[in-house]
Amino acid sequence: MTTTLTPDICVIGAGSGGLSVAAAAAAFGVDVVLVERGKMGGDCLNYGCVPSKALIAAARHAQAMRDGTPLGIGAVEPEIDFEAVHRHVHEAIAAIAPNDSAERFNALGVHVIRAEGQFRDLQTLVAGDIEIQARYFVLATGSSPFVPPIPGLDKSDYLTNETIFDLTARPEHLIIIGGGAIGMELAQAYKRLGSMVTVIEIATALGKEDPELAAIVLKQIRDEGVVIHERTEITRIVQHGLGSVQLSLKSGDGSETIEGTHLLVAAGRVPNLRGMGLDKAGVVHGEWGLQVDSRLRTSNRRIYAVGDATGLQQYTHAANYHAGLVVRSILFRLPARERRNIVPRVTFTEPELAHIGLTEAEATKAYKSIRVARWPYAENDRARTEHRTHGHIKVIASPRGRILGVSIVGAQAGELIGVWALALSKNLTLRDVASYVPPYPTLGEIGKRAAVAYFTPMARKPLVRRLVNLLRKFD
């Protein structure tokens, strides 16, 4: 027999965005149904942020043992137990998993259904033997690895982020297809853990980032021994038995062949939208995401979308941000509008690369006049004491000091970008940033010094100097 449920909200997908919507709505006493066909916690917990950052942490410790000489600590080559590294990664997942479990959400008052959901019509979702006719639906279906149409790839044993963290033995030579954030993070991590690593990128590695700052990251990764082929096409892939894969490459320098033991596809992600019956639900969509308005509503005004399903910014924190907007819109009818310029992104390499707002190239196209302020880590006392002087901050602003974008490359860039995320979300100016007092000695002073540097040229203006000289006469 078919059971019919009529909740206020039905959330499809138990990743970060979907869980945030469900938990928030349930906290206000709203009747919520959550539908999930796979693992609770979605990609971030099981295949993405959590395992990758756990792996990166292990790799960073290994590298620290090699890099102690400048601090007076003898460099040693670490003994790496890759099976223990694998155990560490999965212990991190297991420690966080209870927060995202079906049991916890059932206890919060959310009706969790473990089945695949498919729309039957404009207002009905079928999940197993249950029909759900909700007042509102929220699509939080996440994304999956994009597998490029490379000849021979479909006949090869390749890894994605959904399978690479299952490895219990270290790859001897890992070849990575894709030089974006995921590809470069894992390239550096596996190299530091003892693998040979080669990255193949058809365009430019870290191509979304400001080239000035990306170059610093790529130089460091290359210096550590990762081979990066940019503007290189893979013309064919051939699997030669277990543990042997051959790639034929073509670039401006000619053709060559490389061989490795493992192949990782990190060429981007596509939203999980197939098989959902979106056409029956009247939802306009494409291969790279759903069509949504500034309130994250789809073409069916009763259906919202958050996170990777939108095809917009594929970050866990963006999904959580979307969730907050949707909850405000559905529960309180508030005019919550998405602002993409306040969502930061971080590439967790070493040095880290963080960004928010517009890059210099984007700002130059959008505005008649911009100003750029920089400040190096080498001029920061805390960075000096820790011998972490590699990198700088770059602030893009209007002539009046309106913050347009910020990029940081260096130690803890992902933490330092937080102040600038707050500044952009609250429409603060560089004058506001220049007036705040960071503790000494901290890396946080770098941001304040960049803001102060923006105003330094004013001290050289004749009018300002005449004013200062005039005021001196009134002592």
The DSSP-derived string for 311-360 is TS---HHHHHHHHHHHHHHHHH-------GGG--EEE-SSSEEEEEE--H
Is 261 annotated to bind ligand? no
For residue 287, pLDDT beyond 90: no
Determine the straight-line distance between the first and last CA of the chain, rounded to whole angstroms.
91
Is 435 annotated to bind ligand? no
Contact 191, 164 (CB under 8 A): no
Is 117 annotated to bind ligand? yes
Task: Fill in the amino acid letter for 100.
Answer: D
| Residue 420, CA distances (Å) to 371, 391, 401, 404, 451 in order | 17, 17, 14, 10, 11
Number of Cβ atoms within 10 Å of the Cβ of 421:
17
**Mean pLDDT of the chain, nearest integer:** 95
10-25: average pLDDT: 97
Is 385 annotated to bind ligand? no
Is 391 annotated to bind ligand? no
Smallest CA-to-CA distance from 160 within 264, 260, 51 is with 264
Is 204 annotated to bind ligand? no
For residue 26, pLDDT beyond 90: yes
Contact 406, 394 (CB under 8 A): yes
| Residue 34, CA distances (Å) to 257, 276, 469 in order | 48, 15, 69
Domain definitions of the chain by residue range: 3-144+270-341, 153-268, 351-460
Is 185 annotated to bind ligand? yes
Answer yes or no: CATH 3.50.50.60 is held by domain 3-144+270-341: yes
For residue 336, pLDDT beyond 90: no
**Domain spanning 153-268 has what CATH number?**
3.50.50.60
pLDDT band at 319 (very low <50, low <70, confident <90, very high): very high
The reply to whether domains 3-144+270-341 and 153-268 share a CATH topology is yes
Is 225 annotated to bind ligand? no
CATH architecture classification, 351-460 = 2-Layer Sandwich (3.30)
Strands 403-410 and 3-5: unpaired
For residue 471, pLDDT beyond 90: no
Three-class DSSP category at 427: coil
Is 308 annotated to bind ligand? yes
pLDDT at position 466: 67
Is 39 annotated to bind ligand? no
450-463: average pLDDT: 78
Smallest CA-to-CA distance from 346 within 249, 440, 418 is with 418
Is 311 annotated to bind ligand? no
- What span, in angstroms and rounded, lies between the C-alpha atoms of 148 and 268? 9
- What span, in angstroms and rounded, lies between the C-alpha atoms of 320 and 360? 27
59-73: average pLDDT: 96
Is 196 annotated to bind ligand? no
For residue 185, pLDDT beyond 70: yes
For residue 475, pLDDT beyond 70: no
Q: Which residue has the tokens 């400048």?
A: 70
For residue 70, pLDDT beyond 80: yes
- What span, in angstroms and rounded, lies between the C-alpha atoms of 175 and 384? 36
Buried-exposed string 90-112: b where 16+ CB fall within 10 A, e elsewhere: bebbeeebeebeeebbeebebbb
Is 182 annotated to bind ligand? yes
Three-class DSSP category at 469: helix
Is 53 annotated to bind ligand? yes
